[in-house]
A = this chain, B = another copy of it.
Amino acid sequence: MEGQYRLGDFELQSGTVLKDAFVGYETHGELNADKSNVIVYPTWYSGTHESNRGAIGEGRALDPNKYFIIVPDQFCDGFSSSPSNMPPPHDRYRFPLVTPYDNVIASHRLVTEYFGIERIKLVVGFSMSAQQAFHWAALYPEMVERIAPICGSAKTSPHDWLHLEGMKLALQADDAWAGGDYDSPPEKGFRAFFTVGAAWFASQNFYRRGLHLTLGGNEFKDIQEFLDSMLDAFSAMDVNDYLCMLLTWQSADVSNHPEFNGDLQKALSSIICPAIVMPCETDLYFPPEDSELAVSMMPNAELRIIPGDSGHLAGMPGLASPDDDKFIDNALFELLENVS
């Protein structure tokens, strides 16, 4: 069931107040009587709650017959308050910076105020949504019983920031972007932005093995047809929405909260719930070292590296390989069955 929760005026970490803010969401399954079957699964870069559906289903770890799964849209994805749907002064590229904590705090209000939920059995996330999983557990340790961050990090690394900066500048190099006030989307810039991203989102061996040619069940005749087709698919989202989510990603830092005051050790060691942290061994955005670092500071976390050539796509429903899906599902089954 899709919906929208109105937050009213929402103060961001920056101090800027987002007027009449709202959070889009989708739920799967039914909330049980004692509200003990809740899973939160936020959205990721370039995704909306629709993108998460591929990991949810009968017989899967995220089974709507057993769990009440809430998928809150992050700000800037077009379903929550975003550059593409806000009036001035926060329209388009004038939309303020949103941090992962801002997203988590907004989603927490949806979960607690609207659904009246006090305990979350699992926060699971992929990519930017894995970043949110770390933030959820650090900010609400009394509420979050388990987390499973997949292909993500607790804090955006300098390299991760840099490759995003390159993507941003590639898009903004196109005069048609017009500081965000484009009449029609900047085609050259968006093609550059997407092409740069395509080299990051899967591994060198993924392309060497030609796996891009059959990605998502397609049959592309060559890499150019693959790029054209993916570009079409990714063009559905607004360009300023992409850019503002990118700024959120660049700003991700679990220690960026008054409670932790920039102390990463303090923030991560406060995550006391059980966690299985799953980087993919060939992820170029979030190499396993990000997760090793996080797990070394978390008292109750296990590092479980997804093997194979999928790179970042390992955690993305619909684009991951069946082996990736199975690996992740097995870990989630195990984590969910653990007595808390």
Contact = CB atoms under 8 A, between A and B. Distances in A.
A182 interface: no
B162 A191 contact: no
B192 A169 contact: yes
A204 interface: yes
Interface in A194-216: 195-199, 203-208, 210, 212
B166 A192 contact: yes
* Chain A interface bracket (under 10, 10 to 19, 20 to 34, 35 or more): 35 or more
Interface stretch (A85-93, A170-178, A253-261): A170-178
Contacts of A195: 162, 165-166, 169
Nearest to A287: B204
Contact of A208 (B158, B206, B227): B158
Pick from A157, A165, A212, A287 the residue with the most CB of B within 10 Å.
A165
A106 to B, nearest CB: 29
* Cβ-closest 6 pairs across A and B: A166-B196, A170-B170, A169-B192, A163-B199, A159-B207, A158-B207
Given A165-B199, A170-B192, A205-B287, 17 more contacts: A157-B208, A158-B207, A159-B199, A159-B206, A160-B204, A162-B195, A163-B196, A163-B199, A166-B199, A167-B196, A169-B188, A169-B191, A171-B173, A172-B188, A173-B191, A174-B175, A284-B284
Interface of A: 157-163, 165-167, 169-176, 186, 188-189, 191-192, 195-199, 203-208, 210, 212, 223, 227, 284, 287, 289
